[in-house]
Amino acid sequence: MIDNHIYQSIIKKKAQGLKQIAILLDPDKLDKENLIDTIDKVEESNIDFIFVGGSLMVTENFDDCLREIKIRTSKPIVIFPGSPLQVNKQADAILLLSLISGRNPEFLIGQHVIAAPALKKSRLEIIPTGYILVDSGRQTTASYISNTTPLPHDKGEVAACTALAGEMLGLKLIYLDGGSGALMGVSSKMIEEVRKTINIPIIVGGGIKTAKQAEEACFAGADLIVVGNAFEENNNLIKEISEAVHQTICT
Ligand code: 1GP
């Protein structure tokens, strides 16, 4: 798929003031039975996207996991890659992440150069995304692996300037992430400051465990919420949180 219809669908929903939600699946953490059960729950819910990825690839499940998801659902599959090894043409799109909160050239451009030929061949829809890792109260795998310092939790103005620079550089989405299993999610204040500063859609994830947290992030200006750990722990939350997100309309 080489058009940009997934990105356009996000833009369209944003223009209507509608909010969206993605479940994040980490193939390392799911055996086949769990995966099938989770996808059944996703099918019963109004989850908009299935994000697949992880900081590491400890198992060899990545390819099988994507195949299994594709068999069981027609929801769009978007790779949220931890490394160039996660480029896989079975998905529909990939977030091409530039870690703009960090100052490690490998994650700003180095890995992208390595991945570029495989990305081109994959024919995936490529969505250039400014990834802003926000301090969440403890070191996360993402900050450790990327060898970058997360943006301070209470520095909304730094997040806003970082996002603005990303937008000016032509990035299409900004992802504010506390990191997987964050103790504190990204604050509403930070989301609001970023929302006031940029026009492109904002993704928020990391540590969202309840419908209330998801709603607050939406009201603050998030366009797309990502939930991983909370759904892994209790997949009955998939329906509840996705309904809460869709009921949040901001104009
Ligand atoms: C992590 O934003 C994602 O990069 C999701 O985080 O697993 O904490 O929901 P959680």
Q: What is the pLDDT of residues 97-106, one digit of tens each?
A: 999 999 999 9
- Rounded to the nearest whole angstrom, what is the distance from the C-alpha of residue 55 to the centroid of ligand 1? 11
Identity of the amino acid at 58: V
Identity of the amino acid at 181: G
pLDDT score for 3: 81
Query: Is residue 9 a part of any domain in this protein?
Result: no
Q: Tell me the pLDDT of the chain averaged across its residues.
A: 96
- Residue 82 beta carbon below 6 angstroms from any ligand 1 atom: no
**How many domains does the chain contain in total?**
1
Select from 215, 143, 216, 130 the least CA-distant residue to 178. Answer: 143
- Rounded to the nearest whole angstrom, what is the distance from the C-alpha of residue 26 to the centroid of ligand 1? 10
Residue reference for tokens 């490394």: 83
Report the CATH number at residue 113: 3.20.20.390
Say how far apart CA 164 and CA 128 lie, in whole Å: 14
- Rounded to the nearest whole angstrom, what is the distance from the C-alpha of residue 143 to the centroid of ligand 1? 13
Task: Give the pLDDT confidence of 38-68 residue by residue, as tens digits.
Answer: 999 999 999 999 999 998 888 888 999 999 9
Select from 182, 225, 234, 232 the least CA-distant residue to 29. Answer: 232
pLDDT score for 2: 57
- Residue 177 beta carbon below 6 angstroms from any ligand 1 atom: yes
- Residue 226 beta carbon below 6 angstroms from any ligand 1 atom: yes
| DSSP label at residue 142 | H
Residue 241 pLDDT greater than 90, yes or no: yes
Query: Is residue 8 a part of any domain in this protein?
Result: no
Query: Is residue 16 a part of any domain in this protein?
Result: no
- Residue 206 beta carbon below 6 angstroms from any ligand 1 atom: yes
| DSSP label at residue 200 | S
Query: Is residue 68 a part of any domain in this protein?
Result: yes
- Rounded to the nearest whole angstrom, what is the distance from the C-alpha of residue 228 to the centroid of ligand 1? 5
Task: Give the pLDDT confidence of 137-160 residue by residue, as tens digits.
Answer: 999 999 999 999 999 999 999 999
| Beta-ladder partners of 18 | 249
Write out the residue range of the structural domain in which residue 195 sits: 21-246
Query: Is residue 7 a part of any domain in this protein?
Result: no
pTM of the model: 0.97
- Rounded to the nearest whole angstrom, what is the distance from the C-alpha of residue 116 to the centroid of ligand 1? 26
Q: Is 99 helix (H, G, I), strand (E, B) or coil?
A: strand
Residue reference for tokens 């989301």: 191
- Residue 150 beta carbon below 6 angstroms from any ligand 1 atom: no
Say how far apart CA 223 and CA 81 lie, in whole Å: 20
Residues 6+ apart with CB under 8 A from 236: 41
Residue reference for tokens 């964050």: 182
Select from 90, 54, 55 the least CA-distant residue to 73. Answer: 90
